[in-house]
Amino acid sequence: MVRSIYGTPYFDVTSVYGYAGPLVNIDTLNKEFVDGFHRELDNYFRECNIVSAFARLHPLLVFQEEILKGYGEIVPLNNTVTIDLSLSPMKLIIDEARLFGMSIKLKYLHLGGGVGGVNDSLFYFKSGFSKNYHQFKVWREIINEDVYIHLTKDRFKESSKSSYFPLYRIE
């Protein structure tokens, strides 16, 4: 999702809720493909005045991390929970999802994690169904560092130690 940065000619991009990292339709990611992807993505961002980018990566799609490696920063946050659909039934609603998933030949049901990247009560509820944990990661990239620093320092002098990204969006 492209968002304007209020009062500037600049934009940033962020993924919608869920896991919206890059998808590819090839079996093997070679260096030439990855380098080309980085180059084209960077060109697009710069042509469109995009200052920074943020995406939530799917814990089960490891190629997302592979294709973004070396372009931006991949940040591990917390665990998510996955249910093996071949195991015995759980509570009714989860069991219905399990049955549907098995009917369309899926192997796992990914429940996600807690709220805000922490092991909160929602995560503990989900982990009651399975101990199959996966690392949740996000990707972030500062495309135009000069503009990013300018936007950040003018509005949030005390936020320099925050892990929030992008800092100029912190409220």
- Burial of 55 (C-beta count, 10 Å sphere; 0-12/13-18/19+): buried
Distance CA 113, CA 27 (A): 28
pLDDT digits (tens, 9 = 90+) for 67-112: 999 999 999 988 888 877 776 666 777 888 888 999 999 998 888 8
Q: In this structure, what token pair is assigned to residue 38?
A: 């980085």
Residue with tokens 């912190």: 170
Residue 120 confidence (pLDDT):
87
> Mean pLDDT of all residues in the chain?
87
**Residue 160 reports pLDDT greater than 60:** no
Q: Which helix (H) or strand (E) holds 148?
A: helix 145-155
